[in-house]
Amino acid sequence: MNISIFYEKQDSYRTIKDLTYHIGNVGVELKEKNQNYEDIDIAAFTYSDAKYIRKEIQINNEDIYFLYIYINLYSDDIKELEYYLNKIEGITQSKGMQTRRANFRQEELFLSCMPIIENKEIIKGAAKRNILTSGLLATYPFISSTIFDKEGIFIGTNIYNNSLVFIDRYDTKKYKNANICIFGTSGAGKSFYTKLLILRYKLLGIKQYIIDPDREYNILCNKLKGTQIKIGPNSETYINILEIRKESIEEGESGYLATKIGKLIGFFNLVFGELDEEEKALIEESLIKIYNKKNITFDDKSLFKEIIKNKKTKSEFKNSKDMPLLEDLYEELGKDEKTKKFKIKLIPFVKGSMKFFNNYTNIELNKDLVIADIYDLGEENLKFGMYLFTDIFWDKIKENRQEKKAIYLDEIWRLIGVTSNREVASFIYKIFKTIRKYGGSGVAITQDISDIFSLDSGTYGKSILNNSSIKTFFALEEENIKILSEYANLSEKEKVEIKSLKRGEALMFVGENHILTKIECSDIEKEIIEGEDEFEKNNNSDRFSGDK
């Protein structure tokens, strides 16, 4: 089969003149009452089409072309040729395209498919179609983006041309940052893809920190011998929210206490609700007092203590037990009438169902893979755990600029959506904006598209989306696609593609490239991610290819 496509640009001025004349005539016809319904219907269609073409040329600077598409089919057998003709006609008509056989014009059509570029007038009339510039671009054949970063990890295959997709998100020469957004409805393959990234980057020795609100990463953590931290009513691991960590500021910088208070104001915004400036000042004053009682001031030297080892005096950063607890703040807030209302709201955190927040830190974060399991906190309290671990992991990411690392925020809408607040959302946005200079990658994962754009008219969700060089969209519901298209540069074709994606397929925006990808994995990877029982159950499934 040979295909030949011709484009002929038309005179825009003359086209507008002819269209205006046509619109006027058809407008009169539409007002005539003596025509039957069918005639009116056809006239209405041509009237609307003509107005649309004129608008695109005049307002959107489109050009109009005549488009001609010719197909030459070959065979040694007449029956086989007829079979091919019927097959091609069936395929094109199923896509809404009209076809005509070139009866008694076979020679002219044959010549049109030769390199001599000859488009005979005798066949033009049957093949001619109007097309605007944007439509013309879509007809250019055999175009599909390919992504093959030399140091990248294998992601999958290009759905259109089956080429391999390798992405090195840490390639600073090619990508502005290493951030990723992963959006998709439940069951579309979003979580599996995330686990696949974690597994493959673990093999490269990259440090990864995952916040897991739905207890999805347990199997993966055990298989990869990572550290799993559970926090909740039945947990024996604790984190002191008031602890100042040595890595919270970089070497050569100053302001331990000031930095910590800024972060704590964000946390207490979640606990107490949106605080006004006076309330923030009152809480900050109480925080300064409880730190002063532990001999911690705005002088960074106060964070160090002298210890004697082997008869030698050594300066060491204070540990968790040298820091105040929430109970200290609880007592301090009760001393002033203006802050007593905040003391009441701290009761669950000090004496009630969440008193595990009122304890000294007893965890270590030294492994390459650390997963924070906050499932036991319950739906209402997940945001507290997410913020707490985001703060800790952010400090670890800033510890060494030379190391590659990543932080995964599953269900990120809890921190940047309407259930959060500006202080917390600004902190998350800061991570995505500045993590690049620390050698890091922020990964935002969610299935609730509307929620991530719900705070401040979507300001924070849009900022995180724009600060992610790699965007991965799995199948989404039509309502979510509409919302997403307001903040992402989706073409009409891409909107349709996202809606019709199968499980394990994604539309990826990688830098300037837009590519439809089928996520691929091996049987061993699937077994590690899903566990042996699930792997056996799904072994015959076509969820993700396992033959690569």
Assign residue 289 the CATH number of its domain: 1.10.8.730
Q: Is residue 39 part of a domain?
A: yes
Does residue 190 sit in the same domain as residue 247?
A: no
Does residue 226 sit in the same domain as residue 244?
A: no
**Residue 242 and residue 325: Cα distance in Å, rounded?**
6
Q: Is residue 265 part of a domain?
A: yes
Q: Is residue 387 part of a domain?
A: yes
Residue 227 phi, psi (nearest 5): -100, 125
Per-residue pLDDT of the chain (548 residues; tens, 9 = 90+): 888 999 999 998 888 888 888 888 777 776 765 555 556 666 777 778 888 888 888 888 889 999 999 999 999 999 999 999 999 999 888 888 889 999 999 899 999 988 888 898 889 988 888 899 888 887 776 566 678 898 999 999 999 888 899 999 999 999 999 999 999 999 999 999 999 999 999 999 999 999 999 999 999 999 999 999 999 988 888 999 999 999 888 877 889 999 999 999 999 999 998 889 999 999 999 999 999 999 999 999 999 998 877 778 888 999 989 999 999 999 999 999 999 999 999 999 999 999 999 999 998 888 899 999 999 998 889 999 999 999 999 999 998 899 999 999 999 999 999 888 888 999 999 999 999 999 999 999 999 899 999 999 899 999 999 999 999 999 999 999 999 999 988 888 899 999 999 999 999 999 888 999 999 999 999 999 987 655 455 555 444 544 43
Does residue 398 sit in the same domain as residue 535?
A: yes
Tokens (6 digits) for 184: 């998709």
Instruction: Give the pLDDT score at 33.
Output: 54
Residue whose entry in the numeric block shows the structure tokens 């104001």 = 265
Q: Is residue 164 part of a domain?
A: no
Instruction: Give the pLDDT score at 287.
Output: 96
Query: In which domain, by residue range, is 112 found?
Result: 2-139
Domain-terminating residue out of 139, 165, 196: 139
Does residue 371 sit in the same domain as residue 502?
A: yes
- In 3D, which of 246, 207, 268, 213 has the Cα closest to residue 427? 268
Domain-terminating residue out of 110, 139, 168: 139
Q: Is residue 159 part of a domain?
A: no
Instruction: Give the pLDDT score at 543.
Output: 44
The domain tally of the chain equals 3
CATH code of the domain containing 411: 3.40.50.300
Q: How many residues does the chain have?
A: 548
Does residue 255 sit in the same domain as residue 346?
A: yes
Tokens (6 digits) for 488: 């992402």
Does residue 400 sit in the same domain as residue 492?
A: yes
CA 535 to each of CA 52, 519, 525, 530: distance values in angstroms, whole numbers, following the listed order: 54, 17, 10, 6
Instruction: Give the pLDDT score at 41.
Output: 67
Q: Is residue 414 part of a domain?
A: yes
Does residue 376 sit in the same domain as residue 514?
A: yes
Q: Is residue 103 part of a domain?
A: yes
Does residue 193 sit in the same domain as residue 292?
A: no
Contacting residues for 307 by C-beta, under 8 A, at least 6 apart: 313, 314, 315, 316
Does residue 7 sit in the same domain as residue 118?
A: yes
218 burial type by CB count under 10 A (0-12 exposed, 13-18 middle, 19+ buried): middle
The whole-angstrom distance between residue 244's C-alpha and the CA centroid of its chain comes to: 32
**Residue 453 and residue 271: Cα distance in Å, rounded?**
22
Helix (H) or strand (E) segment spanning residue 523:
helix 523-530
Does residue 293 sit in the same domain as residue 435?
A: no
Residue 104 phi, psi (nearest 5): 65, 10
Instruction: Give the pLDDT score at 39.
Output: 61
Q: Is residue 220 part of a domain?
A: yes
Does residue 206 sit in the same domain as residue 221?
A: yes
Does residue 354 sit in the same domain as residue 466?
A: no
